[in-house]
Amino acid sequence: MLLSKYFLPVLKEEPADAQIASHRLMLRSGMIRQQSTGIYSWLPLGLKVLKNIENIVRFNMDKIGSLEILMPCIQPASLWIESGRFDNYGKEMLKFQDRHDNTLLFGPTNEDMITDIFRKNIQSYKDLPKNLYHIQWKFRDEIRPRFGVMRGREFLMKDAYSFDIDQCSAIKTYNKMYLAYMQTFRDMGMSVIPVIADNGPIGGNLSHEFHILADNGESTIFYDKKFLSLTDEESLDISKLQSLYSVAEEKHDNANCPLSEHDLASHKSIEVGHIFYIGTQYSETMNALVNDSNGKLILVEMSSYGIGISRLVASIIEANHDDKGIIWPKNIAPFMVSILNLNILDRKCNELAQNIYDKLINHKIEVLYDDTAERAGSKFATHDLIGLPYQIIIGSKKAGNNIIELKNRKTGIIEELNIDEALNKLLL
């Protein structure tokens, strides 16, 4: 992508109304723009990140056999009245009437609707277990939306719903999803801590939240310090994980904590995922029954599983930035590398830049080529701000000797290389 053809409205000034780093950086790097309180447009750079995260989530859901569907944004109130939780979200649920005075709502979650889909289409134990997910925009009319897409009103969530024949099978599915969540966040380059949490308005009596540690987090979690030194293998080992103490603040009680002060840690954090073992709450109120192998009608066991996809964009920035800007983990970076042509009037600079640009495209490495007339200082600032993992810097002096600079955004290390050497480094 040529920057001169792109739409990257970076801001040189700090936005006045943004309180936390991720919000400031997303505005400054031209990833998002606010359209109304807590409602954002995603500009090209932001949308690429959002989609990268979405695709990592999708990949991991597909891998464990969850099937993708898509439920609508708008839901009829009747389903929520039937499930008995029409009033549970209070004013956070956006309700309205259509032209025929039917009450509708912009869905904050989909347990009620998925239960309706299940009961109308699945009747036999032979079709269980079943696991369905969708990735759709939700709305919660927060009283005080803040921190950009971290706590917005319209937000993108992946929510999955599982259906099992009995509690034993349901818990097995729950644990499979728990591990899929650990893997999903790892694939984004993030380490998360799973904590025991409250079920809240979703229902059920067992749930885990997945938290990223961050000084600006709105949550606080308490956990065994061993979580910070897990091996790769241990961090995907469910008994290991569930044997370590880790709870959301509302579940922590110092008096009854099994850990010594020395082993216990607490930290501000951001919740990026939440899984709920629900049981039969919805199948009871909404009559979701299946025939078991003896031909007896029984209530189906349910769980639900959410990942906040738009919130993750901000959360990952909270955990990956410095005073110059964002530092994207490779797997979710909007492009892998920037090319900074420092002198577009120099024939040799243009030749080298075009040469490596073409080669990167041929190797399917996503590249943003800054071919604008901006001065060097401004280009350095812009590309540190948008935080692609690598920068290829091409200036007149070294270009004369066919040398470019390859900068690692995270470490700041700069290497002087020829084009083929740089390409080989990026292909590793």
Count the residues of the shown chain that bind a second copy, applying the rule CB under 8 A: 54
Q: Should residue 69 be labelled a site residue for a second copy when binding is judged by CB under 8 A? A: yes
Among 17, 74, 291, 397, binds a second copy (CB under 8 A): 74
CB of 99 to a second copy, least distance (A): 4
Looking at the Cβ atoms of 46 and 387, the one nearer to a second copy is 46
End-to-end CA distance of the chain: 22
Tokens 């053809």 appear where?
Answer: 5
* Shortest Å distance, C-beta 106 to a second copy: 7
Distance of CA 63 to the CA centre of its chain: 18
212 touches 313 (CB < 8 A)? no
Interface residue with a second copy, options 91, 225, 296, 397 (CB under 8 A) = 91
Residues whose CB is less than 8 angstroms from the CB of residue 60 and which lie 6 or more positions away in sequence, other chains included: 180, 183, 184, 187
- Among the listed ranges 68-76, 190-198, 245-253, 270-278, the one in contact with a second copy (CB under 8 A) is 68-76
73 or 417: CB nearest a second copy: 73
* Ramachandran angles phi, psi of 244, nearest 5°: -90, 140
- Residue 111 exposed, middle or buried by CB count within 10 Å (0-12, 13-18, 19+): buried
Between 65 and 200, CB nearer to a second copy: 65
CB of 82 to a second copy, least distance (A): 13
Task: Please report which helix (H) or strand (E) contains residue 349, including its range.
Answer: helix 347-362
The answer to whether 72 contacts a second copy (rule: CB under 8 A) is yes
What are the structure tokens assigned to 18, written together?
């943004």
From 16-24, 134-142, 251-259, 404-412, span contacting a second copy (CB under 8 A) = 134-142
What radius of gyration, in Å, describes the C-alpha atoms of the chain?
24
Interactions with a second copy, residue window 324-363 (CB under 8 A): none
Stretch that binds a second copy, among 74-82, 184-192, 336-344, 354-362 (CB under 8 A): 74-82
Q: How far apart are CA 4 and CA 11, in angstroms?
A: 16
In this chain, which of 59, 63, 81, 96 binds a second copy, going by CB under 8 A?
96
Q: Which is nearer to a second copy, 47 or 299 (CB)?
A: 47
In contact, 207 and 196? CB cutoff 8 Å: yes
SS3 381: helix
Question: Which residue from 24, 153, 252, 407 is in contact with a second copy, where contact means CB under 8 A?
Answer: 153
Q: Kindly tell me which of 43 and 422 has the beta carbon lying closer to a second copy.
A: 43
Measure CA 119 to chain center.
30
Binding status of residue 116 toward a second copy by CB under 8 A: yes
Backbone angles phi, psi at 287, to 5 degrees: 60, 55
Q: Which of residues 8-67 bind a second copy (CB under 8 A)?
A: 9, 30, 33, 35-37, 39-44, 47, 50, 65, 67
Any idea of the CA torsion for 403, 407, 413, 419, to the nearest 10 degrees? -30
Residue 422: φ, ψ to 5°? -65, -45
Binding site for a second copy (CB under 8 A): 5-7, 9, 30, 33, 35-37, 39-44, 47, 50, 65, 67-76, 79, 91-92, 94-99, 102, 104, 106, 113, 116-117, 120-122, 130, 132, 137, 139, 141, 143, 153-154
